[in-house]
């Protein structure tokens, strides 16, 4: 019996050793990927709803750490440094775990992470071909929407790529403004659902289209009665809606459609490639529920229209070291003043020229012509941005 126990103990020790060796051989389990992205710029003036200020500054500078936790989970943490009005701010953009071994194409992510609605939103801003997100993103998603919550994803076993998912978030940065802090916001404020379908066209082309829906339980504007002016808009809920990644224009329902087409000779993206993409946003049900005079809030003519935004972008990689981009977009919003809504429009035409010494370094020169119609008191302007984006350390592959 003693000999048998000795043999069993030896087998157990050998199995434990083999298990430890196998985990040690997987570098992602013992040596997490650590990276930093440095974003610096000079800009001659400011843009509405954008984070970059006039003059020299630091943009979206991030430090990230990620690794497989074991054979069942993956984890990532991303901290972001930004400078706003002379003060350095430290924020936590990602801190999540994700399953890696669920059956039947399912996966779950929990913690703080980028929502997967739309095309650009789930990508870090330093991967963009332009210095700022389109105006529609800045208006309706706070540039890029990340939040605390949970996601369930499913990838279908089809010839075409077909993914779908649902998310539930805390929703603080998507709350409508509340001047007096009297509103009872829901703690579980945002729900999303999306689907993405894509495939290849021969050896050189690929495509993807997507539809997304975002339900914002706290998205409708609030208003209060004033003896002299009647209903007035609320203005401040404690969030910095101009900078702190909060949506400036909200509504209960946001509908999104997106597409992307990519071309590269024989599928080789190293030397040449073309990316054409676009998105459309529609935000509804944003007017206060309070009634006034004729029973409802209204604009000067027929009541507030839906808020909309869209952009179309084309980026061409001319050679391994040079790329050029052209983007046009506009956003139409409604601003509440007293008992009526005023329509606003912002149009942006952008041209970008970037030099890439390698995959890890980019220097970009961008020209933006912006035209506003009663947009937050904004006047037409031309914006010149000189930007560098440099990556230090190991960095994961970018999204499609």
124-133, 200-209, 228-237: range with lowest mean pLDDT: 228-237
Cα(352)–Cα(361) distance, integer angstroms = 16
Q: What is the mean pLDDT of residues 338-364?
A: 92
Query: Over 60: is that where the pLDDT of 256 sits?
Result: yes
**How do 230-233 and 253-263 pair as beta strands?**
unpaired
Q: Indicate the pLDDT class of residue 230, thresholds 50, 70 and 90.
A: very low
The pLDDT, as a whole number, for residue 246 is: 87
Query: Over 80: is that where the pLDDT of 400 sits?
Result: no
Cα(110)–Cα(304) distance, integer angstroms = 37
CB atoms within 10 A of CB 214: 30
Q: What kind of fold does domain 106-223+243-288+304-384 have according to CATH?
A: Porin (2.40.160)
How far is CA 159 from its chain centroid?
A: 28
The pLDDT, as a whole number, for residue 121 is: 97
Q: Which two tokens stand for residue 109?
A: 């992510």
Q: Dihedral, CA atoms, 47, 140, 132, 312, nearest 10 degrees?
A: -110
Which of 355, 347, 354, 359 lies closest to 395 in space, CA to CA? Answer: 359
307 touches 283 (CB < 8 A): yes
Cα(151)–Cα(149) distance, integer angstroms = 7
Query: Over 70: is that where the pLDDT of 295 sits?
Result: no
Q: What is the mean pLDDT of residues 170-183?
A: 83
195 touches 211 (CB < 8 A): yes
The pTM assigned to this predicted structure is: 0.85
More confident residue, 64 or 297: 64
Question: Each residue of 141-175: pLDDT tens digit?
Answer: 999 999 999 999 999 999 999 999 999 999 999 99
Any idea where the domains of the chain sit in the sequence?
Answer: 106-223+243-288+304-384
pLDDT, averaged across the chain = 85
Query: Over 80: is that where the pLDDT of 66 sits?
Result: yes
The pLDDT, as a whole number, for residue 13 is: 40
328 touches 309 (CB < 8 A): no
Q: Which two tokens stand for residue 374?
A: 């009663």
159-163, 203-207, 225-229, 326-330: range with lowest mean pLDDT: 225-229
Question: Each residue of 107-131: pLDDT tens digit?
Answer: 999 999 999 999 999 999 999 999 9
């Amino acid at each position: 019996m003693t000999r048998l126990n000795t043999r069993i103990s030896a087998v157990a020790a050998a199995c434990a050793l083999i298990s430890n060796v196998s985990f040690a051989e997987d570098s992602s389990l013992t040596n997490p990927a650590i990276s930093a992205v440095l974003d610096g710029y000079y800009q001659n003036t400011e843009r509405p709803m954008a984070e970059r200020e006039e003059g020299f500054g630091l943009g979206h500078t991030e430090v990230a750490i990620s690794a497989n936790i074991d054979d069942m989970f993956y984890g990532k943490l991303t901290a972001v440094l930004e400078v706003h009005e002379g003060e350095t701010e430290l924020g936590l953009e990602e801190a999540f775990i994700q399953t890696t071994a669920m059956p039947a194409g399912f996966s779950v992510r929990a913690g703080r992470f980028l929502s997967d609605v739309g095309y650009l939103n789930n990508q870090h801003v330093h991967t963009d071909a332009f210095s700022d997100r389109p105006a529609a993103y800045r208006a309706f998603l706070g540039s890029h929407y990340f939040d605390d919550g949970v996601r369930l994803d499913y990838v279908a076993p089809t010839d075409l790529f077909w993914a779908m998912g649902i998310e539930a978030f805390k929703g603080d940065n998507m709350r409508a403004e509340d001047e007096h802090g009297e509103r009872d916001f829901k703690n579980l404020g945002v729900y999303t659902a999306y689907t993405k379908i894509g495939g290849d066209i021969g050896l050189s082309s690929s495509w993807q289209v997507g539809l997304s829906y975002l339900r914002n339980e706290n998205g409708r504007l609030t208003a209060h009665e004033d003896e002299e002016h009647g209903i007035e808009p609320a203005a401040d809920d404690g969030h910095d809606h101009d900078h702190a990644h909060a949506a400036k224009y909200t509504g209960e329902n946001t509908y999104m459609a997106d597409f992307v087409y990519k071309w590269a000779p024989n599928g080789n993206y190293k030397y040449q490639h073309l990316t054409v993409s676009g998105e459309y946003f529609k935000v509804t049900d944003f007017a206060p529920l309070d009634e006034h005079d004729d029973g409802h809030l209204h604009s000067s003519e027929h009541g507030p229209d839906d808020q909309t935004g869209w952009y179309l972008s084309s980026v061409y990689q001319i050679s391994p070291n040079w790329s050029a981009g052209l983007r046009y977009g506009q956003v139409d919003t409604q601003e509440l003043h007293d008992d009526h809504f005023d329509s606003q429009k912002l149009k942006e035409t952008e041209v970008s020229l970037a030099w890439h010494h390698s995959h890890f370094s980019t220097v970009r020169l961008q020209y933006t012509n912006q035209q506003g119609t009663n947009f937050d008191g904004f006047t037409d302007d031309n914006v010149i941005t000189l930007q560098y984006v440099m990556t230090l350390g190991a960095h994961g592959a970018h999204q499609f």
